[in-house]
Amino acid sequence: MYIVGIDIAKRFHEAAIIDSSGKIVVKRIRFANSHNGFLSFMDAVRKLDKSAEFGMEATGHYWLPLYAHLRQEGQNVHVINPLQSDALRNMFIRQTKNDTIDALIVAEVIRFGRYSQVAPENIVALRELCRQRFFVVDMASDFKRKIIALLDQTFPEYKKLFSDTFGKRQWNF
């Protein structure tokens, strides 16, 4: 079995593949954060003719499309907190940081099996939905405050004529 560590980025991801003993099988696979990029990446992984486990960091929201693609293909995917891979990096004397080394470190974290997964995908989806709801509610509140400020400046009598600025019309005279 191979372990594929993936360093997540906005436009291009980078992967490294190791075997179960930690020997580097493929040092660098760079692929676009797009459907075609995912397909070319999987073609490269399948050429190895062995099963693989995938590991990646939860970096912003950039990991979600690749994660969904891999899960849809039935792959075993581990999403770890970046603090866990940083902890492994800190064990090395030379703490060089680049995409290739980051991908290898993610693969090593998965190989050691000493990590905790990020929340399951349904929890991640609910969390994102809640964040979006809070964003929309805040935006609506800001919009209402701006409307009231404009009404106060241009039509101060409005409050006397209508019982609720944003509700159903009810005349107060």
- pLDDT 10s digits, 78-114: 888 777 676 666 566 455 666 678 888 889 888 887 7
Cα–Cα distance between 111 and 4 in angstroms, integer? 10
Superfamily of domain covering 2-118 = ATPase, nucleotide binding domain (3.30.420.40)
Domain spans in the chain, listed from the N-terminal domain onward: 2-118, 123-161
State both tokens at 169: 């019309």
- Beta-ladder partners of 2: 19, 52
More confident residue, 42 or 119: 42
Q: How far is CA 152 from CA 46, 149, 157, 163, in A?
A: 66, 5, 8, 15
Q: What mean pLDDT value characterizes the chain?
A: 84
**Mean pLDDT of all residues in 42-64:** 88
Which of 20-34, 121-135, 146-160 is the least confident region?
121-135
12 pairs with which residues across the strands? 32
pLDDT surpassing 60 at residue 173: no
- Burial status of residue 168 (CB atoms within 10 A of its CB: 0-12, 13-18, 19 or more): exposed
Rounded to two decimals, the pTM is 0.68
pLDDT attached to residue 169 = 61
For position 87, what pLDDT does the model report? Answer: 62
